[in-house]
Amino acid sequence: MTTRKLEILVGAFVALAIAALLLLALKVANTGVTGSDQSYKLYAKFDNIGGLKVRSPVKVGGVVVGRVASIQLDPEAFQPVVTLEINSSYSNFPETSSLSILTSGLLGEQYIGLQPGFVDENVEILADGDHIEDTKAAIVLEELIGQFLFNRGNQ
Amino acid sequence: MLDKLQQLGASTIASIQGFGRAALMVFGALWGRPRFIKAWPLYMKQFYVVGVLSLLIIVVSGLFIGMVLALQGYTVLSKFGAEQMLGPLVALSLLRELGPVVTALLFAGRAGSALTAEIGLMKATEQLSGMEMMAVDPLRRVIAPRFWAGVVCMPLLALIFNAVGILGGHLVGVDWLGVDAGGYWSAMQANVDLNEDVLNGVIKSIVFAFVVTVIALHKGFDAVPTSEGISRATTQTVVTASLAVLGFDFVLTAVMFGG
């Protein structure tokens, strides 16, 4: 077989492999944090983050607008500090917005629900590096059951 | 008692010497300035034999493994009403485990055994000694093109295997069992990460490619130059390479996804 014919066949093979890689990279995997790599960071302190993990989604009304970038413990207040990466195309949340840790379904994974707050002339828009003050901790089932039993005991 | 101890010692020394000879062979083949331009036809020939001719078995097995995964996954997932998780199930099993491992096993059987038999026969018919007589380094001329062909082609074959497998899963899951097509792809995109899953799978298949190719070349180069020796070397290639792939797979999985 001539070298030219071999080269054509090998070229076709490599092209097929590149097409497979493109399919895997573009169609199968999610590229970047939320589709585009433009994002800004917000910080929030919670009392309890429950089962929240890095890369958990941040949702507004069910729409994913960002992801959890990192989770650290504040060394003085002993409270978890969550860093959120929000897609830059959603950059007009007022500072009165609140965060709560929710669970998708009964047994699903936990995510952060962002509830946009009211806007008037005294309210500023959240920008890169801002803290969100109004947060609700995750509901821990054991604590809930404990409270329930305690209340029953008092009655 | 002492005889047993001696046997143990002898087999240990023999296996360590085997490792040493394999390392020397790879080193000898790769050391020095690569001659890609001068040896281009040799390389093309090996890329064709090792890569293009393995394509058929890889595509067919990938298609069927993807289809079986979708079929089996659907049976369990539909019990929990979680059919939309079929896409991630198929994609993650293929990208993380089945793609690299099954490709490596098939590659050891299809291309590895052929490499061993070819080099072993070259040795038995004294072609390698003939090259040395003509001042042609058989390591550079015979081993190096086959080494590069194996190391480059197997990851490419694994990528094709993954892509075809996911399409096969789509064929069964969406077109036959009626899972929603949008859900199949979007749940897959939500759960598959480019670095975490795709890249780690590629790293795995590069490691397997190196292991399988080096074992195949070494067994052929080290074969006893008789017809019985070549047949034993070919068997050993398939057995050793498959065991090595499974062993390395456990270690790599523990390092990549275990933590």
Question: Quick one: pLDDT band at residue A32, thresholds 50, 70, 90?
Answer: very low
Nearest CA in chain B to A13: B52
| Main-chain phi, psi angles of B142, to 5 degrees | -100, -45
pLDDT at A33 over 50: no
* Minimum-distance CB partner of B189 among A10, A19, A28: A28
In this prediction, residue A3 has a pLDDT band, given cuts at 50, 70 and 90, of confident
The contacts of residue B179 (CB under 8 Å, 6+ apart) are B74, B83, B84, B86, B87, B173
- Over residues A14-26, mean pLDDT: 87
pLDDT digits (tens, 9 = 90+) for A112-144: 899 888 888 888 888 888 888 888 888 777 888
Q: Which H/E stretch holds residue B239?
A: helix B227-257
- In whole angstroms, give the CA distance from residue A116 to residue A86: 13
Give chain A's end-to-end CA distance (angstroms, integer): 92
Which pLDDT belongs to residue B56? Answer: 93
pLDDT at B259: 65
> B9: distance to nearest CA of chain A, Å?
46
Contacts of B71 (CB under 8 A, 6+ apart): B172, B177
Residue B107, min C-alpha distance to chain A (Å)? 15
| Closest C-alpha to B111, from B29, B200, B208 | B208
Predicted pLDDT of residue B159: 94
Please give the Cα distance from B162 to B105 (Å, whole number).
15
Token pair listed for B53: 């001719």
| Proportion of chain A above pLDDT 90, given as a percent | 6
Looking at CA atoms only, how far is residue A118 from chain B in angstroms? 31
Instruction: Write the residue in B41, B55, B162 that is nearest to A24 by C-beta.
Output: B162
Distant-in-sequence, close-in-space partners of A116: CB < 8 Å, separation ≥ 6: A60, A93, A94, A97
Does B24 or A56 have the greater pLDDT score? B24
Q: Which token pair is A33? A: 């944090």
Find the residue in B nearest to A16 (Cα).
B160
pLDDT at A34: 43
Confidence check on the interface: ipTM exceeds 0.85, yes or no: no
Extract the residue ranges of chain B whose pLDDT is less than 50: none
Q: Which residue has the higher pLDDT, A2 or A79?
A: A79
Interchain proximity B198–A9, CB inside 8 Å: no
pLDDT at A36 over 60: no
State the DSSP code for B14: H
pLDDT tens digits for range A65-113: 888 888 899 888 888 999 998 888 888 888 888 999 888 766 667 888 9
Residue labelled with tokens 């004294």 = B126
Contacts of residue A1 in chain B, CB cutoff 8 Å?
Answer: 48
pTM of the prediction? 0.75
At A133, the amino acid letter reads E
Closest CA to B81 of A105, A36, A148, A82: A105
* Contact residues, chain B, for A21 at CB < 8 Å: 159, 163
Chain B nearest CA to A149, separation (Å): 32
